[in-house]
Structure 1
């Protein structure tokens, strides 16, 4: 296609209105696959907001695979490339010389890069995920390291590399360390996802937070947000319990925002206001259990369940955006773009191929937000925006990974990558010329929307010291933009010896955001907070009071209980943000704070919703009786009281809450008016009762017996048996294992039966000769994989006194677990299996996720499993037309055993309900043909070596200190006690079987992909 014709398509793609697109075929659809990937057509398949203008700033071959960008004070774009992304998994080629940090520059001012400089390249640089540029230096994040790269001689090439931090997660992990950013307070902010774990200094010493607590998984959960000084000292943990929080963004008041990723396919991607020191709910705060684990008052929708939003102590989400793979974020405080984007978050989400703004409004002590799309790859699903930054001229730069997939251990294309420039549709901003070495120039730079420019200003202002104060005072007092006032205030508070004067001025300011900034500065400067808090605890603005509550955290002064009680008395019963701020502020001082609050409430601390909330959120034994009274209050519907039962799990007074729960059982036994509700309450009490307390109460034991009888045959029954280890239930467990042999209830029942000394009962069934019991028992033992179960199955296989069909079924059942697969291969290698059992053994592992196991087992048959099914090249596959309805049939036959679409299929691998929005057509083929190239985080297989010598394999559905739920293909789970486990290691390969395409024709494969591509997200 001629270039002029491609550019015509480009113009049409940008200017075309939605109505026009619906009325005629989109130009992108008229391109060949090769033409679609050309840089000159980069915008043809992207829908652009009508209020802005977008142009291609840079593309391949100038750069490839950009993961993260930053823009320096000269307007140059610094790019982290990830050509060497996950080669051990993707199988892609690598650059032996390592990945690159590039500097891209537009030297002639035409809006496109024409100069590229390699700032740094080294074999040790492998898929860096973050860069922050500060003059001649760059902080580069690449787990397990954070490096400081310095250009010492001014040639734009780093000649010095220092380790700043290390020991952070695994090498090349998307859920590890992300980018650093510069805050208005002169500090650095950064984060890591839930593979980070810990952080060490350059000498390998585990860092401690500001409270002296080592930053380790036993102290902080999952993904974390940090702050430190610009010399990397005084590290603080500002938020925890995220999944894969990616690049924190900080506004001029010091407020933090970031995105977070759900487990793939669960529509739970979220945007968070990061309330300082908050718990954000990815894992159960007390047990560490995953969101799938059963719990009282569990949220009704999976996207909300994902974040434990009904649990006390979890900060609410600002916004949930559905399925996605969220990455870079910035707060746009420029004025070059249309007003709707002023002072708002701008965010890239590579999953749904979109760059969005989230206009925010204050909502009580928190916020609410809406969504405005800026760029959307509605046609070109290779558009994978990975980061966004603000240039000194106020334009936005967007990095595009440009790939059929979104990372997640997958890269389908190594040779492409783009940077887009977003400007106002009516004008093109120009790069400002700033004289940084002058006072006026430094003031101008401080007000620039670009962070690197502000950093240069900050350094100069700090060097000027008190000489800069008059100019800063003028901005603070006279400027009409409160964010500029905030930046000037932060500088005054940090550089001048009269910082208390400026902090008091901010705390007394008419603008609540500046009052908040003032209090934050007072905390950072370690001033006496009591006078400020006395002034602010009755502030008319709930957001200011929120900050006052947070400021009380670990503040051990005589006035603290009264100050907190004053704040608590102003809770309105509706504002969850405010309530969680109160909880954060009371940490470590709940007893005294709660007592002070009780004195204010008088004799009726439970008379209203606002008071009931405080009881629900509290973490003190002094609240136990109030909590029990609320849980027992028959004046409220039971559904409304579930929250109080759940709150017992978070109360630290084990003895007190157990006694209160037993007392509830006693009171229930005296009530006769509603037996059904009484039974439900008894079950609730038992589910929250400490098992060690059971033997202290005959009424609790009686309630347990009744609850077991009433819930027999259900998941709730199994949970009670497991929790209290009730061996007297073995007869019922055996019956349940047989009746429910084709589902997870039966497998769980059998597992518990074996654990509770019921092995002889199982063996008796297996040798009973009653086929109606023998075969269900063999079926339910398949996949358990414990040493006991495998030994019984092997004994049956070799017992010549048993019918041959029974022996074949037992042989096949051996291969239903990870350790059983190994056992089958061992039996085949040793030639111990009789010839007439070999086909059954091979059949038993025919659905093993390890291709090597299936292939080796099949080699012991006289005839192979069938001729290879060579596929045409990818270009031909992409050109073939598929039938969606026929693809659905293929899905049900081959994929539904491990994946769900809506309610169809098994919950084992990632949900595929919206996979057509997340992956391009090519990526769908790659995921099927090369499953190891795209293992979704959270769906990695694990191998567990048990103390009894058995080997189990599956996905960790939930893990606490005492229990593990191991999910098996087909969706069933096996409960395991961590005390019975010796070691646990992650599998290198995907648990999705490779060679799946060999079970279908080429057309069936194409039909399957057509069906998967039809699974689109609903438009916003």
Structure 2
């Protein structure tokens, strides 16, 4: 049967189902309608001018959307940052998916441009090309006199000489090693602690003089990253509204043997429901039951990205600390309310049945959100029909793209700002006077505070030190101004242990205190190690401070050997069933896990203690890793398989095949991988919908595993190599897969479009 007929029948079945279905209330619109009526209403998806598209943007009452820039001033914007003059530096990913097979995606047509509003009317009126001839640029960050630019696979630092690109320095030759366009590192978010963090990555960077430091940290998110007032990081993946950290970002990743650390990569807002303003049949799995509702609207996130913790001070107190999340496949931006409970961070959606921002224009594709120097939220709109990358594009979605001519346009892009209705916020420009920058650390706008701190640190402005010390001594205790002063001193290498202990507020805000304590590694030395020990020992006696005390124990241990081990014993004996304490203890026990288990067992033989169970899991993981046979010989035997694993599978299942928290279950020791090869082939060709049980553990990952059977890049021989590779990698050992096996399964399920569930294989 011709493929187009198959796709047509699938879509007809969706329509027929909609005819008999009960219409749902859309929240925003109110009137009821069935899917066939909705299909008629939105049968076409015309390309709209910026003014026309703006009219189709609907905001929460009390707010308005304003057009800041549009083509030809900006094209396909995917990331941006502001400089101290309030100018926008924008990454344009012009080459992304020119058509459904990605023809010409490697063209050197990406750019970094500078957009400026010279007359103060809120709209950009000048465009300067800073860099061109780039291939799919995806992130940027201003650092001192230069710009970090992520151009896969490299990370460059490019000096800025009068808005022209100067000397280029290679910071990381493998910044985006592995993965496809949807699954490569991005973000380059400069956090409160003076380090630059990334989404879809475990790396962080920092400039010290003319050197670039690179360290491993926790793996985080997929596209976009943000921070709150205390420097905690927030992110997400395509199917999950909001993820984030309970503890400061520079801690908890010291033990490479420890795969999961409580308090990091936590699910902050588990509610993934979406409320589009229009039908959204053009999603990759739109034919599957439960993906769309009766009026063809997306039910749950499928392309969540670009999270922003709002810190602008312009919207009012009810919005401070709220988390906004973009969903381009549903043409909307969601608002979540986030709150603290000791060191836990939890959140909920702000509304049921409606969104903060939504559009009836199908080509409105918000892919990133940024806080501006005026306190507004800036929305980057790629303004495209195609946002799904070719690697996972289903025949169903290809048909949708063709039906409404969604391939075009390729030369559009818009940037909006969201402001309180009737307001005309002014972009604040930062000068370079030391006293002005120090004063700006107390601004109501988090962007201003961040930028002022960064400018002081980048300039290594020593004249600021006495002013910052005065802020610590005389500023209001427990305020964000004090935090910025403290971390500015850390960046100037002028912070002391006395500064840290004085800023700490006993019985104060836990999140504030954690941010203060995170600066301890920068100040402890041989002379003050004893005082640091006394301070940490006091903290360890309180359960809400014990995880932080334990994370920092090894700082003093470098100068007073044995202190760290003693503090660990104190906290695990006091709080043996606290998972955050347990994982903090394990994080400081790299390559000493067996001895730690023996010590715990000797103290208390109870096998149900949380710390014991979590430690035993780490020891088991170490054993599995040692048994790994994923060596060069396997990659040589299956070269195409190794490449496909690295670019398609590794980004969710991990390089070691042990899975990634909130993304995908393990492949190593998986009976799904090593069992019947026909089942595994079917899953890889057509995809899998969870939940998934591996080795007796149920993984309720929210994202579907997409199939690659429709991807023209991969031949049946390639897929056979991939499966042979994973079936014999790590500790797996199973029969190899050959091309004929793939062909047989294709024939068995000829015409199938939807993903499998594990129930179908029983």
Choose from 235, 238, 255 the match for 2:217: 238
SS at match of 2:500: helix
Contact 2:505–2:513 at 8 Å: present in 1 too? yes
Choose from 272, 275, 281 the match for 2:244: 272
SS at match of 1:361: strand
SS at match of 2:198: strand
CA RMSD of aligned residues (A): 5.1
Counterparts of 1:558 and 1:913, CA distance in 2:
43
Counterparts of 2:38 and 2:510, CA distance in 1:
50
Deviations 1:859-893 (A, max 9, x none): xxxxxxxxxxxxxxxxxxxxxxxxxxxxxxxxxxx
The Cα of 1:572 is off from its aligned counterpart by: 7.0
Contact 2:685–2:710 at 8 Å: present in 1 too? no
1:327 aligns with 2:302: no
Distance 1:992 1:278, change over 3 A: farther
Distance 1:475 1:394, change over 3 A: farther
SS at match of 2:91: strand
Distance 1:467 1:179, change over 3 A: closer
Contact 2:245–2:264 at 8 Å: present in 1 too? no
Counterparts of 2:497 and 2:254, CA distance in 1:
33
Choose from 565, 583, 586 the match for 1:583: 586
Distance 1:596 1:354, change over 3 A: farther
Which residue in 1 is equivalent to 2:89? 78
Counterparts of 1:163 and 1:605, CA distance in 2:
53
1:340 aligns with 2:343: no
Which residue in 2 is equivalent to 1:614? 611
Q: RCO (CA 8 Å, sep 6+): is it higher in 1 or 2?
A: 2
Counterparts of 2:744 and 2:514, CA distance in 1:
50
Which residue in 2 is equivalent to 1:205? none
Choose from 431, 442, 452 the match for 2:427: 431
Counterparts of 1:534 and 1:438, CA distance in 2:
36
Distance 1:402 1:958, change over 3 A: farther
Which residue in 1 is equivalent to 2:694? none
Choose from 470, 485, 503 the match for 2:482: 485
Which residue in 1 is equivalent to 2:168? 161
1:99 aligns with 2:96: no
Which of the two has greater helix per residue?
1
Which residue in 1 is equivalent to 2:365? 384
Which residue in 1 is equivalent to 2:154? 145
What does 1:631-670 correspond to in 2, within 5 Å?
649-650=620-621
Contact 1:396–1:423 at 8 Å: present in 2 too? yes
Distance 1:963 1:338, change over 3 A: same
1:174 aligns with 2:182: yes
Contact 1:239–1:280 at 8 Å: present in 2 too? no
Which residue in 1 is equivalent to 2:139? 130
Counterparts of 1:133 and 1:40, CA distance in 2:
31
The Cα of 1:605 is off from its aligned counterpart by: 4.3
Task: Name which one, 1 or 2, has greater alpha-carbon Rg.
Answer: 1
Contact 2:339–2:345 at 8 Å: present in 1 too? yes
SS at match of 1:577: helix
The Cα of 1:487 is off from its aligned counterpart by: 0.3
Counterparts of 2:254 and 2:356, CA distance in 1:
29
Counterparts of 2:436 and 2:266, CA distance in 1:
42
Contact 2:246–2:343 at 8 Å: present in 1 too? no
Using the size of structure 2 for normalisation, the TM-score is 0.67
SS at match of 1:74: coil
The Cα of 1:465 is off from its aligned counterpart by: 1.6
What does 1:2-13 correspond to in 2, within 5 Å?
none
1:116 aligns with 2:113: no
Counterparts of 1:32 and 1:280, CA distance in 2:
54
Which residue in 1 is equivalent to 2:275? none
Deviations 1:194-240 (A, max 9, x none): xxxxxxxxxxxxxxxxxxxxxxxxxxxxx414243455533221113
What does 1:669-748 correspond to in 2, within 5 Å?
748=675
Specify every segment of 5 or more residues in structure 2 that has no aligned partner in the other structure, as ranges. 1-24, 273-299, 394-405, 627-667, 692-699, 756-762
Counterparts of 2:173 and 2:597, CA distance in 1:
41
The Cα of 1:41 is off from its aligned counterpart by: 2.6
Using the size of structure 1 for normalisation, the TM-score is 0.52
Counterparts of 2:592 and 2:191, CA distance in 1:
30
The Cα of 1:502 is off from its aligned counterpart by: 0.7
Deviations 1:960-981 (A, max 9, x none): 41327xxxxxxxxxx447xx99
Contact 2:382–2:414 at 8 Å: present in 1 too? yes
Distance 1:147 1:42, change over 3 A: same
Which residue in 1 is equivalent to 2:501? 504
The Cα of 1:110 is off from its aligned counterpart by: 2.5
Contact 2:154–2:172 at 8 Å: present in 1 too? yes
Which residue in 2 is equivalent to 1:625? none
SS at match of 1:42: helix
Which residue in 2 is equivalent to 1:682? none
What does 1:256-271 correspond to in 2, within 5 Å?
256-261=233-238, 267=239, 271=243
Counterparts of 1:407 and 1:370, CA distance in 2:
28
The Cα of 1:100 is off from its aligned counterpart by: 1.2
What does 1:990-1001 correspond to in 2, within 5 Å?
none
1:57 aligns with 2:57: no
Which residue in 1 is equivalent to 2:192? 184
The Cα of 1:398 is off from its aligned counterpart by: 1.2
Choose from 391, 407, 411 the match for 1:412: 407
What does 1:463-862 correspond to in 2, within 5 Å?
463-465=460-462, 467-470=464-467, 472-474=469-471, 477-479=474-476, 482-495=479-492, 497=494, 499-507=496-504, 510-527=508-525, 531-539=531-539, 542-552=543-553, 555=557, 557-571=561-575, 573=577, 575-590=578-593, 593=596, 604-606=604-606, 612-619=609-616, 649-650=620-621, 748=675
Contact 2:500–2:517 at 8 Å: present in 1 too? yes
The Cα of 1:420 is off from its aligned counterpart by: 1.3
Choose from 214, 223, 226 the match for 2:204: 226
Contact 1:358–1:372 at 8 Å: present in 2 too? yes
SS at match of 1:117: strand
The Cα of 1:399 is off from its aligned counterpart by: 0.6
The Cα of 1:165 is off from its aligned counterpart by: 1.4
Counterparts of 2:544 and 2:744, CA distance in 1:
47
Specify every segment of 5 or more residues in structure 1 that has no aligned partner in the other structure, as ranges. 1-16, 194-222, 262-266, 287-307, 620-645, 656-718, 724-743, 752-779, 785-816, 818-848, 850-894, 904-910, 920-926, 946-950, 965-974, 1001-1007, 1013-1020
Which residue in 2 is equivalent to 1:290? none
